Amino acid sequence: MEVILAGYNIDAEIIEKAKSGEVVKDYPLTPETISVAYARISRDPSPVTELRRKAVDDVESARRSARNIVFEMNHQSVAEHAAFNFDILDISSLFVESLEWHRLCSYTEKSQRYQELVGDYVLPKEFGGEAKPIFERAMREQNELYGKAFGALLEYFKARNPDMLEKKWQRRIVEGYAKEDARYAVSLATKAQLGFTANARNLEYLIRCLRANPLAEARQLGEQFFEKAGAVAPSLILLTDPVEYEKEFGRPLNEDFFTKTHADAHRFSLELFGKSANLNTSGVQFPTKGDVKLIDWNQNADKNVVRAILHSHTQRSIEECEALADKLIESGDAEALVKQMLKHSNPWEAVTREFEAVDFTFEVILSSACYGQMKRHRMCTQLVQGYDPSLGCTVPPSVDDIGLKPEFDALYKHTNEVYEELSKYDHVA
């Protein structure tokens, strides 16, 4: 794993001085001054430009203010004005899922759909010693089949898309089809890299989560984030430093929420199921199509949207909007209102906030390749079980068409056997 602090925001006046040739090494190159200046807006009537200059002129005073404002007064939102950019290289695809679980950060990830894989993978620290050759042999088998499948799939998709071979950008799309389906041969140990951006508040929370993560890879990244961001903005990353926290506030840093909450919930849930071994699920029926079950939804979804549109675009009461929504739905005119609301939307744009008045809850069984696309929609609520080989494996139709499905099935069977063997060493990894 390699983690590089690629950037962070500093006061623009310092940047302008540097651009004009002035030596700026004695200026505070830290985002803390911006956070503190903005925090002081609420109580200091001075122009914000002056507040920024004061913070730049006395960074130690600014840091003391940051500690007091963020941690003693609990105004943590001011830490959101400090932003950090990181290059993250050579982490596993499995760990990318844990990292990208955090919704309010920004990620741009190496795509297995657009880049051909070259056989590199992460060997987890948990699988040293006797487990290492077992793990490495499985990785070799997967990567060999990936290479074989990619070549065959590329010819397959070229034959199916002869009109997309003339221009370079079209050929890339066809190659992407092959890469997209060939990746079903490789595991979540495949190496990934990404660009990552977070503000100080979210980064601090993320570090605390990573330190409590059962994966060694996650804990290592948490320490890297702490060391690199803490060196630049120590007053904003204080909750991740047990020593400095106790020195500052005279009490130990309590991390039980991060270390115990989910572990306790796991244990309690298993105990409850253990006490109810003969559950009768015959009366539990959900609308189902394939691997998707609709388990909950708004019974008045249409009316919720229409009512929200009417209420947010007029000064009418919610009772009047409710009554008109009922009337429009009964007369069939509600559809015209919704179409008008969507009239100027481009295909790639999200619907307006009024449509958030409706919720749907699904249970979905899907492959890790598919979840790689699902996880990017971070603003929805995703509650994810661990990977379960007993649910089966997904083979793309194209793989069946080129005659490689038996080889994929054999690889999956052997990989599941390796999974069971490696679980004896470390179940989580």
> What residue type is assigned to position 22 of the chain?
E
For residues 335 and 329, give the distance between their C-alpha atoms in angstroms, rounded to a whole number: 8
Residue 89: which of 217, 223, 187 has the closest Cα? 217
Largest CA distance in the chain: 77
Q: Are 411 and 184 in contact (CB under 8 A)?
A: no
Q: Provide the 3-class DSSP secondary structure of residue 347.
A: coil
For residues 375 and 381, give the distance between their C-alpha atoms in angstroms, rounded to a whole number: 10
Band of pLDDT at residue 194, cut at 50, 70 and 90 = very high
**Least confident stretch, 39-48, 148-157, 170-179:** 39-48
Place of tokens 């487990």: 131
Pull the structure tokens for residue 394: 């997904």
Pull the structure tokens for residue 283: 């009366």
Exposure class string for 319-351: b at 16+ Cβ within 10 A, else e: eebbebbeebbeeeebeebbeebeeeeeeeeee
pLDDT of amino acid 324: 98
Mean pLDDT across the chain, nearest whole number?
91
- The whole-angstrom distance between residue 48's C-alpha and the CA centroid of its chain comes to 34
pLDDT of amino acid 302: 95
pLDDT of amino acid 395: 96
Dihedral Cα 219, 223, 229, 230, nearest 10 deg: 130
Band of pLDDT at residue 352, cut at 50, 70 and 90 = very high
Q: Provide the 3-class DSSP secondary structure of residue 3.
A: strand
Q: What are the DSSP E strand ranges found in 321-411?
A: 360-364
DSSP structural state of residue 375: T
Q: Are 38 and 78 in contact (CB under 8 A)?
A: yes
Q: Give yes or no for residue 114 having a pLDDT over 80.
A: no
Place of tokens 């925001």: 9
Q: Are 67 and 73 in contact (CB under 8 A)?
A: no
Partners of 337 in beta bridges: none
Kindly report the backbone phi and psi dihedral angles of residue 288, in degrees, each rounded to the nearest multiple of 5, phi listed first: -135, 140
pLDDT of amino acid 273: 92
- Of the two residues 240 and 130, the one the predictor is more confident about is 130
Pull the structure tokens for residue 278: 């003969």
- Helix axis angle, 59-67 to 48-57, nearest 10°: 110
Q: Give yes or no for residue 72 having a pLDDT over 70.
A: no
Stated as kind and residue range, the H or E segment containing 5 is strand 2-8
Place of tokens 């481009």: 346
Q: What is the pTM of this model?
A: 0.89
Cβ atoms < 10 Å from Cβ of 275: 7
Residue 30 burial by Cβ neighbours in a 10 Å radius (0-12, 13-18, 19+) = buried
For residues 132 and 135, give the distance between their C-alpha atoms in angstroms, rounded to a whole number: 5
pLDDT of amino acid 277: 82
Kindly report the backbone phi and psi dihedral angles of residue 167, in degrees, each rounded to the nearest multiple of 5, phi listed first: -95, 150
Place of tokens 């890297």: 224
Q: Are 162 and 170 in contact (CB under 8 A)?
A: no
Q: Give yes or no for residue 243 having a pLDDT over 80.
A: no
